[in-house]
Structure 1
Amino acid sequence: MVFLIAISSLIGYLFRYMGFPETNIVIVYLLAVLISAWIIDSFLLGIVASILSTLTFNYLFTKPYFTLSVHDSSYMITFIIMTITSFITSSLTSLAKKNELIAKEKEMETKSLYSLTNQLTDVDDIHDIASVVVKALSDCLSTRAAMLCFDQEGNPESSFIQQASIDAQVRRQIYDIDEIKRRMEELRTSHDEWGEFYDWPIYGRESILGIIRIPSEDAKNMNETHTHLLHSMLESTALAMDHIRVSEQRIKDREETVQERYRSTLLKSISHDLRTPLAGIMGSSEMLLDMTEKEDSRYILAESIYNDAKWLHSLVENILSLTRLQEGKLIIKKQIEVVEEVIGSALDRFLLRTGEREIVVNIPEEPLMVPMDGRLIEQVLFNLLDNAYKHTRYDDEISICVERDEVSKIAKFVVSNNGTSIPSEDLPHLFEQFYTTEGTNGHAKTGIGLGLSICYAIIKAHNGSITINNLTDEQGVEVTFTLPLEDYENE
């Protein structure tokens, strides 16, 4: 700035020697102010240059020379106009320079985001996304950025990727996963300073997807432009990761659907093929029972064959019922049923299969009418009684309790026993297909874990609910299911 004013003064002396008017010298000083404002980033220094130019012109080119005093009052107008013009020139130049800088920063941000978006469209894996984002951030922010990915359950992985050099990336181990998870749950939009890094979370539509990590020293030196660029890249990264997660889940669901269809088809085919020979075995063994004396050893053998065949036949029916439910081919034919009659039919089937066994039944004194498919609810009760039988000893109590809930407008069924309680780790899985537990009397070993699955599907088809829990005040288990009464009461 001082150098430019000195040059302007020399040019002014040259102009005065050549006889040029003072206005030309003023223009030279204005040019010096303009150049100073363009070179110097500070607006304040531009104002200083304007004032200094005016004072220098007064000191060197107005009488009396080499003093700041003014004899000709007309020069005061010149000085004021010169100073104002210098102010305006300096301000406009600084503003133009600032706008140019903003435009360049926006251009850089746009190019960076465009480049990142193009690279992310070609990526089909979460870890590849991390690699691309780390490289892009490191290039834009001149740092060694890093990224930690989270799994679909929202848990951080055991290592994160970091840019080590221009063309090299490394994976670093995480030693305090629980602490990272805790801190991220407390953070949504801002960053978190922790040791070596400043961390910015990447949130998707449902949960946290990852963390962008910037070394602390570099993060402290980030300006507003860098911060805005970082947040824009975080949004682009979140969209790309969400898209990958959705695609992975869609593929997983499709594979599970195909596997389930194949399994259902196989089970249905096998069940249909078993039906006819099982019916023949049951018929033949029943004829042998009628033709043989009970004291004969062959009677015991025929009875064992008949019971096993009957169990297999029941198993086949369960499999067919489940496949029909899953395929939506089992039509729920609701009509008003008397609960007492449905329970009686289920008990008859149960006792016919298991022999004498005391069952405690508690039902309302007034007939309880419930809209249901009686045949299917009878199957539910039979399966629950059969399950209770497998998990109790002969002298353990099995009970059925039914009550009407006037507030919730539901009929509540509870099948309970005071046999063996179920391990807590098994409780969440009991309604899953083919999930079995060990029985008390050994019969549960012959099950394949479809009974409760069928119960669950039937009750859900009735718009009801079903739960299973251990008894709190004593040993044992209770299964509770509900059926809505509104269909009946609205008629």
Structure 2
Amino acid sequence: ASALGRGPAILSSFLSVALTAFFFVPEYLSFELANTEYVVTLVVMLVVSTLISGLTARLRYQATVARQQERQANALFEMSQNLTGRYSLDALLDEAARQISRIFEGQAAILLPDAEARLILRAGDPIADYDVTEKIVAGWVFRHGHLAGAGTGTLPNVRGIYLPLKSSRQVIGVLRLEPHSHEGRLDSESLRLLEALANQVALAIEREELVTQARAGQLQVEAEKMRNILLSTVSHDLRTPLTVIAGAASSLLEEEGRLDGATRHEFVQTIYEEAKRLDRVVHNLLEMSRLQSGELKLNTEWHVLEEVIGCALAQLEGQLHDRPVSISLPADLPLVKLDVLLMERVFVNLLENAAKHTPAGAPIDIVCRVEGKTLQVEVADRGPGLLPGQEEKIFEKFYQAWPGRTRGAGLGLTICRSVIEAHGGRIWAENRPGGGAVFRFNLPLAEESPLDEYLPDEAAHPAH
């Protein structure tokens, strides 16, 4: 009964009772029974053996069902675990197709609609281009949301079994399975397992789509928030220099005949400096736009770092005229391969930030040193320094350490970090012993340069 089932077991019970009556019960070698007691005994034996055969066959069936349920539970659990660990829709679909192919020993495919509602293969084994019937069945299942294909009552004259992938709202795709055995057919238990796995795949796809939509919504909210911050911050930075320029220009026009040369020169100087300030604000906005769009491309060449620093100082001559700047460069400083325009912007932003927070007459120090295969640069000031916890925040977009005290959109240090990291370096900030803040960044030095070393006239250069 445990091996062949109930029918053979009952047959063997009858045969065993008949053989016992023939060989071991008088009259021997005959089916005639000499005593009625033997009849009762044989009947009891037949009933008992029949009952035992039935119980054994039932236990065998229950064990088979338990094994099938265990197989289904394990398959569902494994599918759930594997789909949960995937962080993209393509990886999720590939894993689902692979698992279903392994469980049913066949070829699985997942078809999802494109923008024009046409089913396209997203994972698994493709349907042959010449097999139009298979594609027609897949389209029918997607439109009607019903099971079809081999071994079913709907469109059975194809090789594959097609199941709709149903989300909570609609059919979102089709699962195709072409088993290698059983003439392309699945028994009822296997079909139920396949339907359960298809439901899991559909739920996982829906969950991934909802996560993607939520992420896109969050990005849209953040973009709107940043746009509002940008407008409120930048409008002030643009309005202030424009107001100063308009005021100075108006005074020149209205009082042209009554102004002496010194006063006219002062107005012209004011217009020039505010125009340069406005240019730096616009330049930072353009750089930030390039960084966010991913269009930042380095145009690296060999340059003398002292010349890069000098160009930055020349741009800020008006802001730094009452703040002494000291520069210390090593005598053996090599040429550095960098994007000169972007690195010049880094120095401009760091020096302008130091000038904003440094009182008149306080020094600003620029120190460069070579440490192994790395160039380390620091820009230090004697301003109020950084509050605890601001060391990382100051590099965030639109963040201002002392809002209201200084002009600025809060983009300069963000641009510095992006440019330094694009060069393979790192930038950080910390408080300076004795007061003030120091901004340090490092850049990797190339193994070889066009010149073995660059030797300036003096190891330490005088203040500018």
Q: Is the 8 A contact 1:392 1:418 kept in 2?
A: yes
| The one of 304, 319, 341 aligned to 1:353 | 319
Q: Is the 8 A contact 1:418 1:475 kept in 2?
A: yes
How much does 1:381 deviate?
0.6
Residue 380 of structure 2 aligns to a residue in which SS? strand
Match of 1:166 in 2: none
Deviations for 1:369-427, whole angstroms, at most 9, x for unmatched residues?
10012222112111101101111222433211111122xx2211111123212223333
Aligned counterparts of 1:286 and 1:335: Cα–Cα separation in 2: 46
Aligned counterparts of 2:338 and 2:247: Cα–Cα separation in 1: 32
Match of 2:437 in 1: 477
Gaps of 5+ in 1: 1-15, 40-91, 121-231
- In structure 1, give the amino acid aligned to 2:387: P
- In structure 2, give the amino acid aligned to 1:247: T
Residue 290 of structure 2 aligns to a residue in which SS? helix
| The one of 459, 462, 475 aligned to 2:423 | 462
Residue 433 of structure 1 aligns to a residue in which SS? coil
Match of 2:388 in 1: 424
- Show the 5 A alignment for 1:114-129: none
Residue 63 of structure 2 aligns to a residue in which SS? helix
Deviations for 1:426-455, whole angstroms, at most 9, x for unmatched residues?
33222222221217xx7x532111111221
Match of 1:449 in 2: 410
Gaps of 5+ in 2: 1-31, 85-196, 452-464
| The one of 363, 373, 377 aligned to 1:397 | 363
Residue 428 of structure 2 aligns to a residue in which SS? strand
- In structure 1, give the amino acid aligned to 2:406: K
Residue 351 of structure 1 aligns to a residue in which SS? coil
Residue 466 of structure 1 aligns to a residue in which SS? strand
Residue 414 of structure 1 aligns to a residue in which SS? strand
Normalising by structure 1, report the TM-score.
0.48
- Show the 5 A alignment for 1:249-260: 250-252=215-217, 255=220
Alignment of 1:247 onto 2:212: yes
Aligned counterparts of 1:345 and 1:108: Cα–Cα separation in 2: 72
| The one of 435, 446, 450 aligned to 1:486 | 446
Q: Is the 8 A contact 1:286 1:302 kept in 2?
A: no
| The one of 352, 365, 388 aligned to 1:386 | 352
How much does 1:240 deviate?
7.2
Structure 2 vs 1, CA of residues 341 and 302 (structure 1 numbering), >3 Å: closer, same or farther?
A: closer
How much does 1:457 deviate?
2.3
Structure 2 vs 1, CA of residues 109 and 390 (structure 1 numbering), >3 Å: closer, same or farther?
A: same
Q: Which has the higher helix share?
A: 1
Deviations for 1:229-251, whole angstroms, at most 9, x for unmatched residues?
xxx9xx99995797367424642
Deviations for 1:442-482, whole angstroms, at most 9, x for unmatched residues?
7x5321111112212222232222222223x4432221122
Identity across matched positions, percent = 25
Aligned counterparts of 2:54 and 2:301: Cα–Cα separation in 1: 89
Q: Is the 8 A contact 1:371 1:487 kept in 2?
A: no
Aligned counterparts of 1:382 and 1:454: Cα–Cα separation in 2: 11
- In structure 1, give the amino acid aligned to 2:260: E
Q: Is the 8 A contact 2:324 2:362 kept in 1?
A: no
| The one of 321, 344, 349 aligned to 2:310 | 344
Structure 2 vs 1, CA of residues 263 and 373 (structure 1 numbering), >3 Å: closer, same or farther?
A: farther
Q: Is the 8 A contact 1:34 1:93 kept in 2?
A: no
- Show the 5 A alignment for 1:3-14: none
Residue 312 of structure 1 aligns to a residue in which SS? helix
Aligned counterparts of 1:347 and 1:110: Cα–Cα separation in 2: 69
Q: Is the 8 A contact 1:397 1:419 kept in 2?
A: no
- Show the 5 A alignment for 1:81-480: 92-93=56-57, 95-96=59-60, 98-100=62-64, 102=66, 105-106=69-70, 243=208, 246-248=211-213, 250-252=215-217, 255=220, 292-293=259-260, 304-406=270-372, 409-438=373-402, 444-471=405-432, 473-480=433-440
Residue 445 of structure 1 aligns to a residue in which SS? coil
Aligned counterparts of 2:72 and 2:48: Cα–Cα separation in 1: 32
Aligned counterparts of 1:397 and 1:455: Cα–Cα separation in 2: 22
Aligned counterparts of 1:427 and 1:242: Cα–Cα separation in 2: 38
Alignment of 1:31 onto 2:47: yes
Structure 2 vs 1, CA of residues 102 and 26 (structure 1 numbering), >3 Å: closer, same or farther?
A: farther
- Show the 5 A alignment for 1:48-59: none
- In structure 1, give the amino acid aligned to 2:408: G
Aligned counterparts of 2:71 and 2:293: Cα–Cα separation in 1: 56
How much does 1:28 deviate?
2.3
Residue 412 of structure 1 aligns to a residue in which SS? strand
Structure 2 vs 1, CA of residues 107 and 416 (structure 1 numbering), >3 Å: closer, same or farther?
A: closer
Structure 2 vs 1, CA of residues 102 and 414 (structure 1 numbering), >3 Å: closer, same or farther?
A: same
Structure 2 vs 1, CA of residues 314 and 278 (structure 1 numbering), >3 Å: closer, same or farther?
A: farther
Match of 1:217 in 2: none
Aligned counterparts of 1:462 and 1:286: Cα–Cα separation in 2: 46
How much does 1:29 deviate?
2.9
- In structure 1, give the amino acid aligned to 2:435: Q
- In structure 2, give the amino acid aligned to 1:327: S
Q: CA RMSD in A?
A: 5.2
| The one of 14, 18, 22 aligned to 2:38 | 22
Normalising by structure 2, report the TM-score.
0.50
How much does 1:364 deviate?
0.5
Match of 2:141 in 1: none
How much does 1:322 deviate?
2.4
How much does 1:343 deviate?
1.4
- In structure 1, give the amino acid aligned to 2:409: I
